Structure 1
Amino acid sequence: MNFTKSAFSEHAKNFKPEDMQVQMEGKNCIVTGANSGIGFATAEGLASRYELSFATNVLGTYTLTELMLPLLEKAAPDARVITVSSGGMYTSPLTTDLQFSGDTFDGVVQYARNKRIQIALTEKWAEKYKDKGVNFYSMHPGWAETPGVAKSLPDFSKSFEGKLRSSEEGADTVIWLALQPKEKLVPGAFYFDRAEAPKHLPLTGTKNSHSVIDSIVEKLRSFAGL
């Protein structure tokens, strides 16, 4: 399998603080919505360090959030990090195999793994910063009719043409989470359609897997050079 080096982690180190600030009536809060994903990770470009889906959904998300935390703490007590995950994560437990070391690469499986990591990272951050006024939430936008879905899952997109959500409908819960009083939200929770949703389904064996998040964070810090 070929790997593609993503520039996301490097760009994450060069953000401008003023670009991250959102003024809303009576409060100054900072909201970051992580990339919701790319579906199938494809082999593009020359040999490099990181698999593309992992670099986009996990390493870039982690690096940007960690580097923004000093700024987020200044915006406390109403700074928020909203990570856009996916219902695809329900099928996958947390794993320390971050870049898919198996012989046969499966983009759908890798995507699900990455989305599960986002859920566990959100829990970890929420616990770590619960007393510092930085609030962390993850969410699932539902299946929306976007160019990414059409490219990554062409058969699925064609079968459900006209039945999927619009981009605006997919973004609804992100905006809702940004505007809701934090007292009405649960730190570290996973939301879908403006309501808290379960992070695990029965008989999937994913719940206990979150115990490996600390070792994953150690790897991410090393990869990101933090």
Structure 2
Amino acid sequence: MSLYRNIVWFLKGMREYTRDGYEAAHKHFVEKDLETSVAGRSFIITGANSGIGKATAMAIAKKGGTVHLVCRNKDRAEEAREDIIKDTGNREVYVHILDMSETRKVWQFAEEFKRTNTSLNVLINNAGCMVNQKELNVEGLEKNFATNTLGMYILTTSLIPLLEKSCDPRVITVSSGGMLVQKLRTEDLQSERGHFDGTMVYAQNKRQQVVLTQEWAKAHPSIHFSVMHPGWADTPAVAMAMPQFYQTMAGRLRTAEQGADTAIWLAVSPAATSTPSGQFYQDRKAVPVHLPLAWTQSTPQEVQTFMTKLDALAKSFQPA
């Protein structure tokens, strides 16, 4: 089954996830969807100092939004901030230093942000990692899971009360089409069993993000939740995590701006919130979250088990 999934997914990717796939989809975009000002609206973007995160921040700043860059590296974050201000003329761009893999610090950041800000309109969960060799964070958690799933979960759940008090609140999570090759695992959240394959661990984390988005949409109807696939984009993260894939696909990868397009559309366009909450998007369209005949669906009991375990783990690191 895993071989079938991988083959079907790769063929789909060559057709849809490349630059050619974006250009084909772009012909059907409604350009006026992005002809909007977001002045007075506030946005948090994690992992915003390069790649898709920076491209997203740049586009939102051009439209007048207040942008909070949440980044791990202070020097790169400040450099990104200066680039955005220089290119957009918008000085409402702020830097926050946070490593999303450090679970307790994610809690602390979210609580501090709520204390110092009266509103948050849009949260864009973009930060992610693909560590190919098993590595633990400072709290003993597998690093991919800590960053891609647990950190994102903590940040989002902690900020939901602030989002619910704000106008037209939205949460967008940058996932990956790679999640299509994985079924949600409820008994091994941190991929501790068997051979450790960083690519498949990443794909499992991205499946977890899709499930979280669906469950949040049910639990918090006043917020528009979405999860999206940027396609195969030419970013520093891809070059570092998947060097062989990056070299093989040279010339076929999307630009960072093309990869960011759907996240930007979901964050600013009135058209985006006319679609149901909780869906998975690719090139501005809601698309299926399972490959045909791939048997990756989860039962309601499996989803509930996942949510319960994740919430308990997150709360075990919550500061007193």
Q: TM-score, normalised by structure 1?
A: 0.85
Confirm or deny: 8 A CA contact 1:20 1:31 kept in the other structure.
Answer: no
Quick check: 1:34–1:57 contact (8 Å CA) kept in 2?
no
Task: State the partner residue of 1:99.
Answer: 190
Are 1:147 and 2:236 counterparts?
yes
The CA distance in 2 between the partners of 1:210 and 1:109, in whole Å, is 23
Larger radius of gyration, structure 1 or 2?
A: 2
Matches within 5 A, 1:1-226: 6-15=101-110, 16-17=113-114, 30-35=121-126, 37-44=128-135, 48-76=139-167, 78-96=168-186, 97-130=188-221, 133-181=222-270, 183-209=273-299, 211-225=301-315
Distance 1:85 1:9 in 2: 23
* 1:114 aligned partner, one-letter code: N
Give how far 1:183 is off: 4.5
C-alpha spacing 1:160/1:38, structure 2 compared with 1 (3 Å) = same
Q: What amino acid maps onto 1:73 in structure 2?
A: E
Alpha-carbon shift at residue 17 of structure 1 (Å): 3.8
Q: Distance in 2 between matches of 1:153 and 1:117?
A: 21
Amino-acid identity (%): 42
Hey, what does 1:25 align to over in structure 2?
none
Distance in structure 2 (CA, Å) of the matches to 1:157 and 1:19: 41
TM-score, with structure 2 as normaliser: 0.61
Q: Following the alignment from structure 2 to structure 1, what is the Cα–Cα distance between the partners of residues 141 and 178?
A: 22
Q: Tell me, in whole angstroms, the C-alpha distance in 1 between the residues paired with 2:115 and 2:256.
A: 26
Residue 211 to residue 113, structure 1, CA distance change in 2 (3 Å):
farther
CA contact (8 A) 1:9 1:55 kept: no
Does the aligned pair in 2 maintain the 1:29–1:75 contact within 8 Å? yes
Question: How far 1:6 moved relative to its partner?
Answer: 2.7
- 153-162 or 12-21: bigger deviation: 12-21
Q: Deviations over 1:48-96 (max 9, x none)?
A: 42100000110001000010011011014x1001011100000001111
Q: Distance in 2 between matches of 1:115 and 1:170?
A: 16
Q: Structure 1 128/47 Cα, relative in aligned 2: closer, same or farther at 3 Å?
A: closer
Q: RMSD between aligned alpha carbons?
A: 2.4
**What amino acid maps onto 1:92 in structure 2?**
Q
SS at match of 1:207: coil
Flag structure 2 segments of 5+ consecutive residues without an equivalent. 1-99
Q: Is the contact between residue 30 and residue 79 of structure 1 (CA under 8 Å) also seen in structure 2?
A: yes
Cα-to-partner distance string for 1:146-187 (whole Å, 9 max, x where unaligned): 111111111110011122011111111011001222542221
Count how many residue pairs are aligned between Structure 1 and Structure 2: 213
